[in-house]
């Protein structure tokens, strides 16, 4: 099963590489997405862990991330067709190949239960997505790609060192060194503490770079703002979460080793710090795609905070993984439409989106209301339960700061969003030729995503909540 899920997109990538027609090739993406989504549902339907080999196991955590990845890719692939239609200036071969390969390697991340494999897969995501960032071929996009490549590679290299430390911790404990997750989990209590802690820090910093925790986030705004809308959506909703999954692994080990007291302060600090940095850069942000990127940093911070608080907050955190992914997809896709219609990302040149693009503008606004965590949308439920957990576990200061930062971020984000959607259209017709029209392909995905966000806020489907509960139990399992 794993191999099907992983190699299907890679195979499709190969097919895309040979398909000659620029007009037909994009349609391979939705096909891939649909098949992959279907298979994903089949896998998720299976109870408990789905083990293919000792290295490729889909545990409940992986299931959640896989769901997000596959779901988001499905919508982004549809949107991508419309997107490529609108920008038929250059060949989209590289785009299609890398985009579906991207899906393949991310699927690998979700399955991998061997930290080495996981490292390889995450490094691979960087490499295959670099050309996607570079799609526009503008100097800015080159720069973004360069920073993305170098910073992430360096960070992930550190994560490799961290993985080695883990293996060494097991070796030091007198077991023969291993990177297989199950074995580490069983041995967790015996692992040598110093090496385990060092490994945790290294992997937090390393994968945290990829996940976009401040201050290692520096590549993120650039990449998100320069990449095409569907790619940004995948980055923010799926890629970052894959890195988060890697961090969850080592977090899980620390929990199993009974080191919660060690990881908690670090994670809470990193989470709040990321939120604070995001807030600082969101206030007065003129580039609305950068603004969304910083909001991703903020939400990664919330995830870190959530697992830092731990315990009852885990459910909310995992729910937030899903809610944030869906909402951010909605936001990036609608923002992409707005960007296309105005040919600018700067709020000085973009206004009156509600008038020029009634649907996309509304979707963008709704997505904003959802992402700031106001009811009745999904993120509200997750953030509120994290908050409750924070109070329940006595992290009063952290919870207070959490709320304060939420307010700051709301102010920063709201100013930008309202500038975009409200007011009349700019007098100087900055509209690029040909004039962008909202097509079914570009508007339907965000609409459905909005429906999902609302659903998450009003009524979490039973299967999903079971999935989340299993994941929480899985995280809290003590060998």
Partner 1 sequence: MQYEIHNGLVLIFAATIIMIASGLPACFFDRRFVWTQRLTTALMLIGSVLGWWGLVVASFGTPASSIVWDWHLPAGHFSIGLDALGAVFLIPVFTIPVLGSFYGLSYWRQSEHPENGRGLGLFYGLLAGGMALVVLSRDSVLFLIAWELMAMAAFFLAGAEDEKAEVRRAGWTYLVATHAGTICLLALFALLRQVSGGFALSTVVDGSLTTGIAATLFVLTIIGFGFKAGLMPLHVWLPGAHANAPSHVSAVMSGVMLKMGIYGILRVLTLLPVTELWNGEVVLGLGAITGILGIVFAIAQNDIKRLMAYSSIENIGIITMGIGLALIGRALHRADFVLLGLGGALLHVWNHSLFKSLIFLNSGAIMHAVHTRDMNRMGGLAKSMPVTAGLFLFGAVAICGLPPLNGFASEWLIYLGLFHSVGAGSSTVWPVGVAAVALAVIGALALACFVKIYCVVFLGTPRHPVHGQPHDPSRLMRYPMMLLAGGCVVLGILPQLGFPLLQNAVEQWMDPVAPAIPQLASAAPFQWISSMAMVFIVLVVGGFVLLRRKIVRQAPALVGTWGCGYGLATPRIQYTATSFGEMLVSLFRWVLFPRFRRPAISSVFPAKSEFSTEVPDPVLERVILPAFRQAGRNMMKLRLLQQGRIQIYLLYVLAVLVFLLGWGKLGF
Partner 2 sequence: MNPLLNALLVVVLALNLFALGTSRLVTVIKIVSLQGVLLGLMPFLIEGHLGWRLLLASGGTILLKGGIIPFMMIRAMRDVQIKREMEPLIGFLPSMLLGALATGFALLFSKSLPLASAHTTPLLVPASLATIFVGFILLTTRAKAITQVMGYLVLENGIYIFGMLLMGAMPLVVELGVLLDLFVAVFVICIIINHINQAFSSLDTRRLVALKE
Whose CA is closest to 311, among 391, 389, 200? 389
Q: Measured from the CB of residue 340, what is the shortest distance to partner 1 in angstroms?
A: 23
Choose one: 5-13, 29-37, 107-115, 404-412; the region binding partner 1 (CB under 8 A).
404-412
Rounded to a whole number of angstroms, the minimum distance from the CB of residue 67 to partner 1 is 17
Of 108, 381, 453, 472, the residue at the interface with partner 1 (CB under 8 A) is 381
Q: How many CA atoms lie within 13 A of 69 on its CB side?
A: 35
Is there binding between residue 311 and partner 1 (CB under 8 A)? no
DSSP string, 148-206: HHHHHHHHHHHHHHHHHHHHHHHHHTTSPP--BHHHHHHHGGGS-HHHHHHHHHHHHHH
End-to-end CA distance of the chain: 27
405 and 272 Cβ atoms separated by less than 8 Å? yes
Q: Number of C-alpha atoms within 13 angstroms, CB side, residue 435? A: 5
| Residue with smaller CB distance to partner 2, 47 or 139 | 139
> Residues 99, 207, 219, 235: which binds partner 1 (CB under 8 A)?
219
Centre a 10 Å sphere on the Cβ of residue 394 and count the other Cβ atoms it contains: 10
Residue closer to partner 2 by CB (options 79, 197) is 197
> Nearer to partner 2 by C-beta: 145 or 351?
145
Q: Does position 144 bind partner 2 by CB under 8 A?
A: yes
Cα–Cα distance list, 77 to 32, 67, 102, 127, 472 (Å): 8, 15, 12, 19, 31
Establish if 192 lies at the interface with partner 2 (CB under 8 A): yes
DSSP 55: S
In the region spanning residues 354 to 413, those forming contacts with partner 2, defined by CB under 8 A, are none
Is 164 a binding residue for partner 2 by CB under 8 A? The answer is: yes
In angstroms, the Cα distances linking 329 to 77, 95, 169, 260, 450 are: 12, 19, 39, 33, 9
124 interacts with partner 2 by CB under 8 A: yes
217 touches partner 2 (CB under 8 A):
no
Is residue 139 a contact residue for partner 2 (CB under 8 A)?
yes
Residue 388 engages partner 1 in binding (rule: CB under 8 A):
yes
* Shortest distance (Å) from residue 208 CB to partner 1: 8
Q: Which is nearer to partner 2, 40 or 295 (CB)?
A: 295
Structure tokens at 368: 């904003």
Stretch that binds partner 1, among 90-98, 99-107, 241-249, 311-319 (CB under 8 A): 311-319
Which of residues 249 and 356 has its CB atom nearest to partner 2 in the complex? 249
- For partner 1, the closer of residues 85 and 193 by Cβ is 193
* DSSP string across 100-122: HHHHHHHHHHHHB-BHHHHHHHH
Closest to 384 in 3D by CA, of 281, 68, 392, 295: 392
Whether the Cβ atoms of residue 404 and residue 276 lie closer than 8 Å to each other: no
Report how far residue 126's alpha carbon sits from residue 220's, in angstroms, rounded to the nearest whole number.
12
Scan residues 88-117 and list those touching partner 2 (CB under 8 A): 114, 116-117
Binding site for partner 2 (CB under 8 A): 114, 116-117, 119-120, 123-124, 126-127, 130-131, 134, 137, 139-140, 142-147, 149-150, 153-154, 157, 160-161, 164, 167-168, 170-172, 176-179, 192, 194-195, 221-222, 225-226, 281
């Amino acid at each position: 099963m794993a191999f099907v899920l992983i190699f299907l997109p890679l195979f499709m990538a190969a097919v895309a590489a040979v398909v000659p027609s620029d007009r037909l090739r994009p349609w391979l993406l939705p096909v891939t997405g649909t098949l992959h989504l279907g298979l994903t549902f089949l896998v998720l339907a299976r109870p408990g862990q789905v083990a293919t080999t000792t290295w490729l196991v889909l545990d409940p955590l992986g299931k959640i991330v896989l769901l997000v990845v596959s779901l988001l890719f499905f919508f982004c692939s549809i949107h991508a067709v419309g997107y490529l239609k609108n920008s038929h200036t250059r060949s989209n071969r590289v785009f299609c190949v890398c985009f579906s390969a991207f899906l393949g390697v991310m699927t690998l991340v979700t399955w991998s239960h061997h930290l080495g494999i996981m490292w390889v897969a995450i490094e691979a995501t960087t490499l295959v997505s670099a050309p996607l960032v570079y799609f526009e071929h503008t100097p800015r996009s080159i720069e973004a790609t360069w920073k993305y490549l170098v910073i992430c590679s360096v960070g992930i290299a550190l994560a490799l060192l961290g993985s080695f430390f883990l293996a060494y911790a097991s070796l030091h404990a007198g077991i023969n060194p291993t990177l297989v997750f199950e074995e580490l989990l069983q041995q967790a209590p015996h692992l040598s503490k110093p090496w385990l802690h060092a490994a945790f820090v290294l992997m937090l910093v390393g994968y945290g770079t990829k996940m976009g925790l401040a201050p290692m986030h520096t590549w993120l705004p650039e990449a998100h703002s320069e990449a095409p809308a569907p790619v940004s959506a995948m980055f923010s909703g799926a890629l970052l979460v894959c890195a988060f999954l890697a961090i969850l692994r080592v977090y899980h080990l620390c929990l199993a080793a009974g080191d919660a007291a060690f990881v908690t302060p670090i994670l809470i600090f990193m989470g709040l710090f990321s939120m604070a940095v995001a807030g600082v850069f969101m206030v007065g942000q003129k580039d609305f795609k950068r603004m969304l990127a910083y909001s991703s940093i903020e939400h990664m911070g919330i995830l870190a905070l959530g697992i830092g608080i731990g315990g009852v907050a885990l459910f909310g955190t995992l729910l937030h993984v899903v809610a944030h992914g869906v909402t951010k997809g909605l936001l990036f896709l609608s923002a992409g439409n707005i960007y296309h219609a105005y040919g600018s990302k700067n709020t000085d040149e973009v206004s009156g989106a509600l008038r020029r693009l009634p649907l996309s503008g509304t979707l963008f606004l709704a997505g904003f209301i959802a992402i700031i965590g106001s009811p009745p949308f999904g993120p509200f439920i997750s953030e509120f339960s994290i908050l409750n957990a924070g109070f329940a576990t006595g992290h009063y200061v952290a919870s207070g700061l959490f709320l304060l930062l939420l307010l700051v971020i709301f102010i920063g984000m709201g100013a930008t969003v309202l500038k975009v959607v409200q007011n009349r259209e700019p007098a100087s017709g900055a509209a690029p030729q040909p004039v962008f029209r909202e097509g079914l392909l570009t508007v339907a995905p965000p609409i459905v995503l909005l429906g999902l966000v609302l659903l998450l806020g009003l009524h979490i489907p039973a299967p999903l909540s079971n999935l989340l509960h299993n994941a929480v139990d899985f995280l809290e399992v003590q060998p």
